[in-house]
C-alpha cells in the first residue's frame, strides 16, 4: 500500500471513530463507569446480545461492573437492546472488521 492510500485509510478510520464517540456521548452523556468494565465486541448480535449481557455478573470480587458493547457497523438494532438493559453501546457507523486498529 502506498503512503497516500495509508493516509486515506487512516483518515477514514479516524472519521469512523469520531462519529462513534459523538453518537456515544449523545446517547450516554458522560458515563459513570464502575470500577470494572467488561468490553464486548459485537456485529449483528441482536438475537444474542441480551443473553450475553444477562450472563455477566453485576459485580466481580465486590466491585460493580459496567458493560460496554462496541458494535462494529450496526445494522440490526443491537444498540437499542444494549441500552435498554442499562449497558453502554458504542456504535461504529460502518463495519471495519477485526482488522480495524487505532
Q: What is the pLDDT of residues 34-72, one digit of tens each?
A: 999 999 999 999 999 999 999 999 999 999 999 999 999
What pTM did the predictor assign? Answer: 0.86
Q: What is the pLDDT of residue 96?
A: 84
Residue 97 is predicted with a pLDDT of 77
pLDDT at position 100 over 70 = no
Residue 58 confidence (pLDDT): 95
Sign of CA dihedral 98, 44, 65, 88: positive
Strand, helix or coil for residue 57? coil
Distances (CA, A) of 73 to 25, 28, 60: 17, 18, 30
> What's the pLDDT at 11?
94
Q: Give 99's pLDDT tier (boundaries 50, 70, 90).
A: low
Amino acid at each position: 500500500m502506498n503512503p497516500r492510500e495509508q493516509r486515506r485509510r487512516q483518515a477514514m478510520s479516524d472519521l469512523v471513530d469520531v462519529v462513534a464517540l459523538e453518537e456515544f456521548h449523545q446517547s450516554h452523556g458522560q458515563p459513570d463507569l464502575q470500577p470494572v468494565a467488561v468490553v464486548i465486541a459485537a456485529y449483528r448480535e441482536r438475537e444474542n446480545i441480551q443473553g450475553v449481557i444477562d450472563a455477566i455478573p453485576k459485580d466481580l470480587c465486590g466491585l460493580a461492573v459496567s458493560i460496554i458493547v462496541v458494535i462494529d457497523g450496526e445494522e440490526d438494532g443491537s444498540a437499542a437492546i444494549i441500552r435498554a438493559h442499562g449497558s453502554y453501546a458504542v456504535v461504529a457507523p460502518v463495519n471495519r472488521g477485526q482488522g480495524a486498529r487505532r
